[in-house]
Structure 1
């Protein structure tokens, strides 16, 4: 096993293999506003909207492997599993991202080799946090 960078359910994304190229986080707060006294705005925070994490992944399967981990992610997605998302940093330090469902996957394959498999694969995986604060399914 190479150095793990993050885990998504049973899939482990590493330096060698299916490798994270970038992370994009997006969230929004639901806020009601009402104009008071002509120009003063009254703001009432209500709840949190969707919290979404987008992973950009890549691999060169002939050199690094990694398609086995993509198949695990794809299985979780098609089964609509709620899985744990973990992000590792230097050493053994990590962050529990929370429970997520894999909402969307896209896969690009380029430069086909003679065996029919592309030499370069890129993936976009969109995770939707579920449960209270993204860390609890409520089940």
Structure 2
């Protein structure tokens, strides 16, 4: 193989390849990176909201582990709650409160006219995911 002037050249001779010769491909035809999209369903996780700070909306992703690895699973799903609190600890929104099967989920928290945050002032808020003994809290900022 040879790289020259934005091309990759590969020469094939005898052996496994029946067609002998030199092949030329531009760099743009080559794979430049491989992204690992495997989902780790072995443990709970709560990701940082995006964007943060936000206005008018933000997304929150979380992962629920597979039932066989999840001590809080009751049959096919796991009871999960995801709530938003102000800095005084007052609950301002419930985004999730239901049984969910293992997987990766994304919910939106919005300041639109019908969103959960429509009457909230600018400031720091916390969101907390709980399931059984698992609990994790993250901080987010709303800018009006």
- What TM-score, normalized by structure 1, do the two folds share? 0.31
Larger radius of gyration: 2
- Per chain length, whose mean CA-contact separation is higher, i.e. which structure has more relative contact order (CA < 8 Å, sep 6+)? 1
Bigger strand fraction: 1
